[in-house]
């Protein structure tokens, strides 16, 4: 599956069945398998008892129906014997003692295994206990079916290389200890659920919640499909609900109320699941020995995936839905403010000292400091906000900084660094007209020295303003803006800084300060260390040097969160940013990202304390422990 970057394409089919008409049903199933294969699916699942129909009632006791089901399976096997696609269909199976509600796993004319239903519902409108026995009552571990000797047990894992499939059936998902949990800790990464669940008020929400929960706790892909409108409506309507979940996220949610057969697709990212299983040590707490499982191995190549139907957000660090956004932004703001408040409270210090440039990062840090003062019931004037204009400072950013400080009620100090830097250049013998790295870094270190001394002078602490993206790229001057006494923004990536500042401006602040925030948001990102242009505007623009932060944050998320390879990150970035950036630009930015990420670990190895706010953090004491002298060669060679 490496050729597909760990993606497998799955399909969930809802055939329009005819109750007890196995010939019709199996013809329909075979056609849907062919369609799924033509669309590049690697596996397709059908509803519970789809070969006969779920709602056959006491007809399940009929040998005629049973024989028809077996003949139907033979027909499906013959029709799909040349197709490299795993098909999972539901049928009743008699083991010589008990009738079992089963799923048959088929591939290229072979029945790989039969999985009986573990939990048999016998309440409300469900009377399965009248006809079927649970899996643990099965009298055999192998049966003869369609001329083949086939394993029959609920503890089956189908091993197709990277893709390891297991099955549970309808009610199994609703149990307090679902089979899928045991399947997952025994190695399955893709669970299929054949269901016949009815349409009643509110039930679809429960199903969705369960799929999210099962896929999250088991770090797996979960494909659920229910019988639909073809079933009998004597007492209930079957929902035709299709859900495809991955690690707590729902990729597909469809309820096709129609008298037509339907099929739905998505791609499951097995490498993403593997990454979380590696990191989550609790996942390894085995409830049942894996030795009780039988593994069925089969050769499987599958159709290469050339494009993806699933979407990837361009802003993986930023909450998407408006309803989620308000809650999440408020939570992030509280985490930052409470973290700083705790540090101030613990030290007994009442004066946070910040350098305010009129840019996004320092604006966020100041807004957090203000909130911390409010939490501690301290006066905002205790905040010492210092503007330190240098050779590249523009009137726009300086005025925005001063106005912001005034409107938020902090204490403003303005200290130019020009004379100090000019003297420093004289002392070390550096030509002031040579605007090289010495020219830039001297200014950053001078500002840090001023802030540190003011903190000592006022019994305060320097609050750092650098963000997570800058840490990843090493876009900070060592022993300059890289250093502070508490780095409150260190867990916030640049794209989230922008959205968070915007949200605070819209949802928290009032009056004139909202306009100031709006102008800061409209200002190009820049350290302003090089002289301004002839028109007095910013000449040094960070994203013209590094590439756009939206790309770097995208790379950072998928590299840090899931350990994806550079080629896979490029593959999904091309999908996410289609029409925005071409492949050459994305690839060049990706090379920049990995080069700078590896080369600048030494800065992260001694970064100040600061709060983690999400799943990605670069703290050397917590989430990211990397040697400062690691080589980037393997990652760069992929590109």
| Active centre residues (catalytic) | 48, 117, 170
Beta strands in 247-398 (DSSP E): 249-254, 262-269, 294-297, 351-355, 384-387
CB distance 60 to 104 below 8 Å:
no
CB distance 164 to 1 below 8 Å:
no
Query: Which of 569, 541, 536 is closest to 553 using CA atoms?
Result: 569
Query: Which of 35, 55, 154, 62 is closest to 105 using CA atoms?
Result: 154
- Angle of the 494-507 helix axis to the 512-521 helix axis, nearest 10: 160
Q: How far apart are the first and last CA of the chain?
A: 20
Q: What is the DSSP string of 512-571?
A: HHHHHHHHHHTSPP----S---TTSS----HHHHH--HHHHHHHHHHHHHH---HHHHHH
Q: Which residues contact 410 (CB under 8 A, 6 or more apart)?
A: 366, 369, 370, 380, 381, 383, 384, 385
Distance CA 156, CA 171 (A): 18
Beta bridge partners of 105: 88, 113
What's the sign of the alpha-carbon dihedral 178, 179, 180, 181? positive
For residue 241, what are its two tokens?
Answer: 């609900």
Distance CA 224, CA 209 (A): 12
Question: Taking the C-alpha atoms of 91, 302, 164 and 155 in order, what is their torsion angle to the nearest 10 degrees?
Answer: 20
């Amino acid at each position: 599956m490496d050729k597909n970057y760990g993606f497998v394409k799955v399909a969930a089919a809802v055939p329009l069945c005819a109750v007890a008409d196995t010939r019709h049903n199996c013809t329909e199933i075979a056609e849907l398998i062919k369609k799924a294969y033509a669309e590049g699916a690697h596996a397709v699942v059908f509803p519970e008892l789809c070969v006969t129909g779920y709602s056959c009632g006491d007809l399940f006791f009929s040998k005629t129906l049973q024989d028809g089901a077996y003949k139907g399976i033979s027909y499906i096997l013959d029709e799909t014997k040349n197709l490299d696609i795993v098909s999972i269909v539901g049928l009743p199976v008699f083991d010589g003692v008990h009738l079992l509600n089963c799923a048959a796993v088929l591939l290229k004319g072979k029945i790989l295994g039969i999985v009986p239903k573990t939990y048999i519902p016998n309440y409300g409108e469900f009377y399965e206990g009248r006809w079927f026995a649970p899996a643990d009552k099965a009298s055999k571990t192998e049966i003869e079916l369609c001329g083949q000797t086939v394993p029959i047990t609920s503890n089956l894992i189908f091993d197709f290389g990277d893709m390891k499939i297991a099955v549970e059936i309808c009610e199994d998902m609703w149990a307090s200890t679902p089979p899928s949990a045991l399947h997952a800790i025994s190695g399955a990464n893709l669970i299929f659920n054949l269901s016949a669940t009815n349409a009643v008020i509110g039930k679809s929400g429960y199903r969705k919640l369960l799929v999210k929960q099962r896929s999250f706790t088991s770090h797996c892909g979960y494909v659920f499909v229910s019988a639909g409108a073809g079933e009998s409506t004597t007492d209930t309507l079957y929902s035709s609900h299709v859900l495809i979940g991955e690690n707590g996220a729902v990729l597909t949610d469809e309820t096709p109320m129609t008298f037509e057969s339907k099929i739905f697709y998505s791609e499951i990212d097995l490498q993403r699941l593997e990454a979380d299983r590696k990191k989550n040590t609790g996942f390894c707490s085995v409830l049942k020995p894996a030795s009780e499982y039988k593994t069925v191995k089969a050769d499987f190549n599958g159709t290469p995936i050339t494009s993806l139907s699933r979407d990837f957000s361009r802003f993986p660090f930023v909450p998407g839905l408006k309803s989620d956004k308000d809650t999440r932004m408020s939570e992030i703001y509280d985490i930052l403010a409470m973290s700083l408040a705790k540090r101030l409270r613990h030290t007994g210090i009442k004066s946070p000292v910040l350098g305010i440039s009129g840019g996004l990062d320092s604006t966020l840090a100041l807004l957090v400091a203000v909130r911390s003062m409010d939490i501690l019931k301290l006066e905002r004037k205790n905040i010492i906000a210092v503007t330190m204009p240098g050779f590249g400072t523009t009137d726009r950013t300086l005025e925005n900084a001063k106005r912001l400080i005034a409107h938020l009620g902090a204490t403003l100090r303005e200290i130019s660094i020009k004379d100090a830097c000019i003297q420093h250049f004289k002392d070390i013998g550096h030509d002031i007209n040579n605007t090289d790295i010495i020219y830039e870094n001297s200014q950053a270190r001078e500002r840090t020295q001023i802030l540190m001394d003011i903190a000592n002078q006022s019994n305060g602490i320097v609050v750092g303003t650098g963000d997570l993206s800058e840490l990843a790229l090493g876009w900070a001057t060592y022993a300059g803006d890289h250093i502070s006494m508490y780095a409150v923004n260190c867990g916030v990536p640049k794209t989230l800084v922008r959205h968070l500042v915007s949200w605070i401006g819209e949802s928290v602040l009032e009056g004139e300060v909202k306009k100031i925030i709006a102008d800061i948001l409209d200002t190009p990102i820049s350290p302003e260390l090089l002289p301004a242009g002839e028109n007095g505007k910013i000449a040094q623009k960070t994203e013209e040097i590094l590439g756009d932060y939206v790309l770097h944050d995208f790379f950072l998320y998928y590299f840090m969160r899931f350990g994806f390879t550079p080629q896979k990150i490029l593959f999904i970035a091309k999908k996410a940013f289609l029409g925005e950036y071409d492949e050459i630009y994305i690839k060049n930015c990706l090379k920049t990202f990995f080069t700078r990420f590896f080369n600048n670990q030494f800065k992260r190895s001694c970064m100040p304390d600061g709060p983690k706010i999400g799943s990605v953090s670069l703290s050397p004491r917590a989430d990211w422990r990397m040697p400062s002298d690691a080589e980037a060669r393997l990652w760069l060679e992929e590109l």
